[in-house]
Amino acid sequence: MKDILNGRYEIIEEVGSGGMAQVYRAKCNVLNRFVAVKVLKREFVNDQDFIDKFKQESMSAARLNHKNIVNVYDTGVDDGIYYIVMEYLEGITLHELIQKNKGLSTDTAVDICIQICEALDHAHSNGIIHRDIKPHNILIDKNNQVKVADFGIARAVSNKTMTNSDNTLGSVNYFSPEQARGGYIDEKSDIYSLGIVFFEMLTGEVPFKGDSAIAIALKHVNEQMPAPSSINKEIPDFLNEVVLKCTNKKQTLRYNSANAIIADLMKYKANKELFWAEAGNQRIDDEKIAALNRFLMETSTVNPMDKTAQNSGSKKTSRNKVDNGKIKAVVDMKKNEAMDESYDDAEDVDD
């Protein structure tokens, strides 16, 4: 690795590595600030497919400018070294935060989920699907600002159906059923993965576990999603239903947009006293109950009083079963690409 790229970016230390690239902490000697430099691994520089994918990453990520998305500053090539320059964050990943606390408080989980949704809403409105939403790719800086990182595996959809090989890059614990099947991916695939992340924030656990990536992928396809309250009894029904709506097996039955999730979570925040009282079976006067039900029926896309949600158990649904060999093929393709986290240990500093 060169000490300085294009006479501008002085490499200081490696801070992360993924399937396609290595990430370095560097200093921009022109603007006198620290940056993160993502460098395509040398074994791929002669592979035109990988180079094209890396260039697509650069162009896609550079289109996004949002407070909840890691900024891309520059791209380039120097003596066969392909690189992207991003903002450098001091903080921790959401994965580290969940592991440290064995789950998050409901208020913290809701606030983080809203910020992730803000990032996704911006990306989706620009025709970009992340496809690898997971706690490892979500950073929390020293000011508690949430930043979604690694749009390097995102693709601009531009009204085109993605190919099967393009659909295999998500981490299997957060796979949508359509990703596991190698099917068509859209914005609602990100919403499914977000629902899994939200579940993990609320409970400290992922909903599906297994001895292999293939076993976990099969569960995403075949098994009904458990409610967060099956692990954490204190979760209000309203938040159960938000998670279950995000993670419906059918794309058409999920939230239509990340912005719709924000709307429901803001309604929860405005009325959480009533939701928590209902969750704890506390006495609420009839007038408040009537107001709550009226509020839900008129403004919300989920109904927390409905305890017969289609995803409330852990039974398998035969109509969702698919050929195990196809799942294995998809997961094997995923393993060959981006199983590692490419920005897991990145940190934030001021300019």
Give catalytic residues, as residue numbers: 132
- Distance CA(290)–CA(98), nearest Å, equals 36
Tokens representing residue 51 in the block:
């180079």
Long-range contacts of 120-124 (CB under 8 A, 24+ apart): 120/148, 120/187, 120/190, 120/191, 120/194, 120/258, 121/257, 121/258, 121/259, 121/262, 122/64, 122/66, 122/68, 122/69, 123/64, 123/66, 123/69, 123/148, 123/151, 123/154, 124/187, 124/190, 124/257, 124/258
3-state DSSP call for residue 210?
Answer: coil
Which residues lie across from 11 on neighbouring strands?
Answer: 26
H or E element in which residue 235 lies: none
Report the distance separating Cα 134 and Cα 197, nearest Å. Answer: 6
